[in-house]
Amino acid sequence: MVRSTLFRPVLGAVFFAAVASGLRAQQPLLTIDWRALSRPQGQSMLSWQMVGPPGEVFVMLADVATGQPNVFGADFDLAFSPSLLFLDVGILNGGNQSGFLGLTLAGLPANAAMHLQYGSWDPNIGLSSMRASNLDSFFVHDENAAVVIDFGHPAFPVFGMTGVFDKTVHHRLQALPPVVRTVRPSPAEAMPWPFSTMLTPFNPNGARCQHAVRASDLGSIGVPEWLVAVRWRPLFGNVTAQTLPQFELRAALADAVPDYAIDPWSALPVDPGSGLSTTFAANAIPGTEQVLFSGAYSIFPGALTPGGHLPYPIAQPFLHDGVHTLLLETRCAPGAGTGVNFPLIHLLSNSSPEPFATVAAIGGWAGFPAPLSPSTTPVGNGGSYTFDLEVDFLRTRSVAESAWTPSFGGALDYGIPTLASFAPPGTSILVEYRGRTASGAPPTAWSTTPDVADGMNELQIRVTMEANAATGAVPWVDMVAIPFD
């Protein structure tokens, strides 16, 4: 929800009246009527409302810092820093309580978030029944008004944001916990080819192969994810002990999106040119290629997974953007010994070798020399087939966009933004801004400062949050506030 201090929201009181008589009345809930206080406007009174179980003892707290302490068994969002203040204490009469705080604005720093939260407990049980409310924040500024993107106001839940984030959390914008997902990126048109061929990345004469894996086949949803594992499936599960003295696995992004659909009239692909180029260097988007592994690769039967795949070695994960085609490349130097392994191939078209899902140069096959040096081989043969793969993605990133602010009737000059948030160790939060002159007008590029929208009367924000894959910790944002004149 986007609010300006030019307008006093009235829906909060209506919402609390409904909540007090509903099922959520038993959940500790806090709201502040003003999130941005303007010194020039003389706003010096802050009021809050609490909803909780009737008869519980409450204590209202304020702090300049956020954290994650556990107090008497309850997880708080205040840091309980040396600046912690006790604002009020009492009994939740009827489950709905209000309070006021008179502020001396001259003594408060500009553009610094201050946070309120209350804890309550059943006096018949004691402090072991402590529960913490949501956190709500405010800030003081020196402009006449402010845009407040408010994730914590219960009358305007965070579902107003679009994107990928934890939508089970209603009172703030919170990142999803890190998760590893496994996918077999086989297109619907894939048909297993149960025969041995020379098309093996592990050819003892040397081989270079590139494979296009579309984002849709990866189950991508537009959010970057770390590629942390790639596995291939041996034909019939047969694994021959083999050591490749020099093997590379690479990944990159590609613009090519092969279309395997078949024209029912001609029985030919509808877009044969949509696949990879036979020139290896033409397929990766410049600057995106990364070596995931380089060195000796030992293949042995004991490495076969219960699902029937063998892992490629990976020393460095690759960040896939969740949008482009994933380009996987293997380079096998000659001299791999006498053993050879054959991967299961999936055909994607019976009527044409196009569009090219795979481009391969195999030593001693289809005119290529034996031995073949993969690093100096510029072109390969294309085909409408791919190998049976299994990949793991680690998702740590959440991305959310706000709606556009309504027009304020003029070109605005935005000031320094204030962020009420918490980023545990190993996590991060990035807020970006862009502007436009009117609804439907082309927006500016995203920027880390709202100055990019100066002179425009509409603003939008994008919040990118990174979770900690090692600890599972997630960052969150309670509000983003941007003062303006």
| Residue 263 tokens, joined | 């024209």
Does residue 281 surpass a pLDDT of 50?
yes
Does residue 52 surpass a pLDDT of 60?
yes
pLDDT score, position 11: 32
pLDDT score, position 471: 96
pLDDT score, position 9: 31
The Cα 251–Cα 235 span in angstroms is 24
The Cα 277–Cα 254 span in angstroms is 11
Cβ-based neighbours of 131, under 8 Å, separated by 6 or more: 28, 52, 74, 119, 120, 121
The Cα 472–Cα 475 span in angstroms is 10
The Cα 154–Cα 148 span in angstroms is 14
pLDDT score, position 154: 52
| Structure confidence at residue 409 as a pLDDT band (50, 70, 90) | low
pLDDT score, position 4: 40
Does residue 41 surpass a pLDDT of 90?
no
Q: Across residues 143-162, what is the average pLDDT?
A: 73
Four-point Cα dihedral 50, 56, 62, 67, nearest 10: -100
> pTM value?
0.83
| Residue 46 tokens, joined | 């802050």
Rounded mean pLDDT of the chain? 88
Q: Residue 238, Cβ neighbours under 10 Å: how many?
A: 11
